[in-house]
Structure 1
């Protein structure tokens, strides 16, 4: 990949679409590009997409989806964040921070007070550096066939507004994960 000049700060923008072709452009294709197939889950597609491009190449992506959730006795909504990806030859340049910042700026206009994501344990430190907080509670998610299963990946949240405090209690996503 050509070196991005230091005078050219990467900028994320809203994408009109995000297809398997674009995902393959970032992750290079393969059977399990996110390394989560072993979890055996069915995932929801995202409805809003943000990306970082350079020289007509998509280098990073983050997707959003508004989802119903219960935390303790309260039902509410969260903005699910998923499909976060940075091309392997562009990692270490802050592109995850850039694309997530743009996605979360948009998420703040969507209504929910928090964003939520699921990630593999090795990625927890990255998301913590970006302001996300791991949940200690078990998170239940829906799966096909009216099944409800415990999320095997790490669940993390971040507030979308300064006064947003994550409530305590069991967490139940009333949909497939995103």
Structure 2
């Protein structure tokens, strides 16, 4: 077994907070750790956080996913979704199923929050990963709010997943009634 692997199954924990230092623990301290700076968007911070620490509770944070309840208009109907974002897995431990574990924990929690769907935005190369995790890409543009009362089409790929068995995402125009998460 390599030093990056462990015979102990990773455990997802709820994090009391998620700081820039913890993000750097996972992704390093580069200027654009998620590769989305070129989109030129302002993002909302997530409110609830889930993580995996390598080596137990005091170990290095190696994965994260955050959630946030958000208002959205789908066609003429206003509702809420759970936004999932800040999904990150440290490069040296990728390929071990940590994204699946941390996103599943975030979605388990999202199911207790009320909305019937979760929504995320990702770079096109990550679409296949999220599809394997049960997410479905939306085929239409999604409008999001930005500072200065601007409304812009989300340049990243929008994906949704149901949070209950009966949830169906309508084929209607979508507008996030807030900054993206």
Q: Could you list the per-position Cα deviations for residues 5-28 of structure 1 after superposition, in whole angstroms to 9, with x for gaps in the alignment?
A: 23x111111101100000000001
CA RMSD, aligned part only? 0.9
Distance between the aligned counterparts of 1:85 and 1:134, measured in 2?
19
Aligned residue number for residue 137 of structure 2: 134
* Aligned with 1:175 (options 155, 175, 178): 178
Aligned residue number for residue 70 of structure 1: 73
8 Å CA contact retained: 2:65, 2:84: yes
Aligned residue number for residue 46 of structure 2: 46
Q: Could you list the per-position Cα deviations for residues 42-61 of structure 1 after superposition, in whole angstroms to 9, with x for gaps in the alignment?
A: 00000000001112010000
Shift of 1:3: 3.0
Distance between the aligned counterparts of 2:145 and 2:180, measured in 1?
7
Aligned residue number for residue 122 of structure 1: 125
TM-score between the two structures when normalised by the length of structure 1: 0.98
Structure 2: unaligned runs, 5 residues or longer: none
**How many corresponding residue pairs?**
177
Shift of 1:29: 1.0
TM-score between the two structures when normalised by the length of structure 2: 0.96
Shift of 1:4: 2.8
Shift of 1:103: 0.5
Q: Could you list the per-position Cα deviations for residues 99-137 of structure 1 after superposition, in whole angstroms to 9, with x for gaps in the alignment?
A: 001000000000000000000000000000000000001
Aligned residue number for residue 86 of structure 1: 89
Structure 1: unaligned runs, 5 residues or longer: none
